[in-house]
Structure 1
Amino acid sequence: MLITLINGELNIQYIDRYIFILLILMIPFNSLADAGSCDIFEVIDCDKNVVSPKEKKGKWILGVGLAHAHGVPDYIGSDESRNLTLPLPYILYNGPKMKISSSGINRKLFHHDKLFVSLSLSGAIPVDSDKNQARKGMDDIDAVFEYGPSFKYFLQGNNKADSALFIDLNFREARTLKLDSLNFSSSPSVVFRKKLQQDYFMGQVSMSSTFKFEFVSDKYAQAFYGVDEAFETATRESYKAEGGYAGIRFNSSLRWQRDNQIVSLFFAYSDISAAKYVSSPLVKVTSHTLFGGSYFWLFD
């Protein structure tokens, strides 16, 4: 059984959300896809932009870990949030032609050292409307998974370099777990990573930062921010959400590794003040900040 801590108390009320999060983290490994964007959970070492000092060509590295995130919103724009604690896997393979991790598979395109192609995988956790004041009485928001091509072009370094700067262009189809189509989403990103040359506390230190713009379809925006006339109340007007520009996201992480242990601290910020759907009555705040940490133990 998966046990979670919410606001410091033992709780299994949100176990369905956490199972979905774990699926999002595990699907890339099972399907050889690339979780280039795991939304707010990208910061929990989901997208391993930092090169591990234990990497050796042709060798699998497996491990387990635990992560805690403080201030995770029910959905971007909600003024209600949760603290999450959950277990995570660590999966890494550095082959001669491709790299596989829990963030997926990366391969050179046309044998070009600067251009890599992969599959981008992302998702959104489900929302129980009865437990969110703004959505009370409305239909629940189903969990969403997204998949599609991703092209990474390295301005500095390459996919295996300790320090690198690259652009990630992706376009994903979005569907609920019931397989209802939400059309598409996209999050073109700029990613920077660097491994410090000097050791600190007898371990190697790396940092990674990602800045991205979000775009979604009309159907995607309506699923999260639209209000049908049937759910209109005295304080919640009906609203037809439009897709298009959906705000910015920024996350940054600091990672320390010594032998088989990895400790990461992460920070994430999102802003939807200029999003097309910002006038929705379901948007209560236009920015979010979350932070937390993770710990991984790698098997020999």
Structure 2
Amino acid sequence: MRLLSYACIVLGCAALLTSATSVAADRPLWEAGAGLGVLHLPAWRGAAESHELVLPVPYFIYHGRYLRADRQGVRGVLFDSDRVDLGVSLGASPPVGRDSSGVRNGMADLDATVEIGPQLDLTLWRSPDRAHQLKLIIPVRSAFSLSSTPRHAGWVFSPAFNLDMVDPPGLPGWRLGLRSGPIFASSRQHAYYYQVSPSEARPDRPAYSASGGYSGTQVLASLSRRYPQHWVGAFVRYDMLQHAAFDDSPLVARDHYLAAGVAVAWIFGESSERVSVDD
């Protein structure tokens, strides 16, 4: 189960590392590969302690007529529109042990969670050559714990503006992504990480009941490049938890922090069939 948990973390973070493709090209129907990534993440949002993880990174691109998996995620092509996309949003968080931080000492372990749900992408602006584009992304995800008996861990809604740039100034051949937006979550999602039951309370950790609502704001920058036989990418994310619905929980030690990751993947194979891709 721990390996499965880490695999889901990879899938969630891989969505932040966008693959660089050309603006318009004749490309293979599919490409497949694998690599390694190094992630620096907090034990949970607001935790004083962080984790460094070395994990396998899957690489898969598919340019089908009705189903696509690429830098924009996994999505179905349900209607003919170059301004609106409906896809799948993924997220994940690592498990938390009771000894991971003194503030949780004596509390039950938390299983890793995986989040999945629909995502609507609205293209607000793009340059004439389609090298730069601004989108409003609207994902709604349902979270589940990865335990022997998975249980629902609430809902997450994280709308954001996303600016995507091919060949940004001074970085020819690279793709730069900038994303920023607030996060909102249900009371069950906040309770999973921040609630303290009366039986777990102690003098320096009073009982706390979490409510739903505003869950902070994230600002993310990603940079990636596709070479003939491999791909490299990196991201840095800044989280601001001030005024979040749970900011007075005794389990919140920091109201802002940085998370980051780097990854490299090697392309092992591609299809002989080629399709026209308008990226």
- The reply on whether 1:134 has 2:103 as its aligned counterpart is yes
Q: SS state of the match for residue 113, structure 1?
A: coil
CA-based RMSD? 2.6
Matched, 1:88 2:57: yes
8 Å Cα contact 1:199-1:205 kept in structure 2: no
Could you tell me which residue of structure 2 aligns to residue 224 of structure 1? 193
Query: Match of 2:5?
Result: 20
- TM-score in terms of structure 2 length: 0.85
The one-letter code of the counterpart of 2:211 is E
* Structure 1 partner of 2:263: 294
| Structure with the largest fraction of strand | 2
Question: Structure 1 residues 230, 190: closer, same or farther in 2, change over 3 A?
Answer: same
Residue 100 of structure 1, aligned match among 48, 69, 92: 69
Instruction: Tell me the percent identity.
Output: 25
* Change in CA separation of 1:61 and 1:199 when aligned onto 2, cut-off 3 Å: farther
Letter in 2 for 1:68: V
Question: What SS class does the counterpart of residue 20 from structure 1 fall into?
Answer: helix
1:231-271 deviations in whole A, cap 9, x for unaligned? 11121100111110000111111223332122223211111
Alignment match, 2:145: 176
Are the equivalent residues in 2 in contact too, given 1:50–1:208 (CA < 8 A)?
no
* Cα shift readout 1:150-191 (whole Å, capped 9, x = no counterpart): 111011239x94422111112222222233223311111111
**Aligned with 1:275: secondary structure?**
coil
Q: Which amino acid aligns with 2:121?
A: K
Alignment partners' CA distance in 1, 2:18 and 2:246? 31
- Count of residue correspondences: 265
Task: Tell me if structure 2 keeps the 8 A contact 1:57–1:95.
Answer: no
Q: Distance in 2 between matches of 1:114 and 1:50?
A: 20
The answer as to whether partners of 1:64 and 1:87 remain within 8 angstroms in 2 is: yes
> Comparing both chains, which one has the higher relative contact order based on Cα–Cα distances under 8 Å and sequence gaps of 6 or more?
2
Q: Which runs of 5+ in 1 are unaligned?
A: 1-14, 27-37
Displacement of 1:290:
2.4
Q: Indicate how the Cα distance of structure 1 residues 51 and 109 shifts in structure 2: closer, same or farther if over 3 A, else same.
A: farther
Q: SS in structure 2 opposite 1:146?
A: strand
Residue 60 of structure 1 pairs with residue 34 of structure 2: no
Which of 138, 145, 165 does residue 134 from structure 2 map onto?
Answer: 165
Output one character per residue of 1:58-89: Cα deviation in whole Å (capped at 9) or x when no partner: 5211111111123x110001000122222211
CA pair 198-75 structure 1, distance change in 2 beyond 3 A: closer
Aligned counterpart in structure 2 of residue 77 of structure 1, from 26, 46, 52: 46
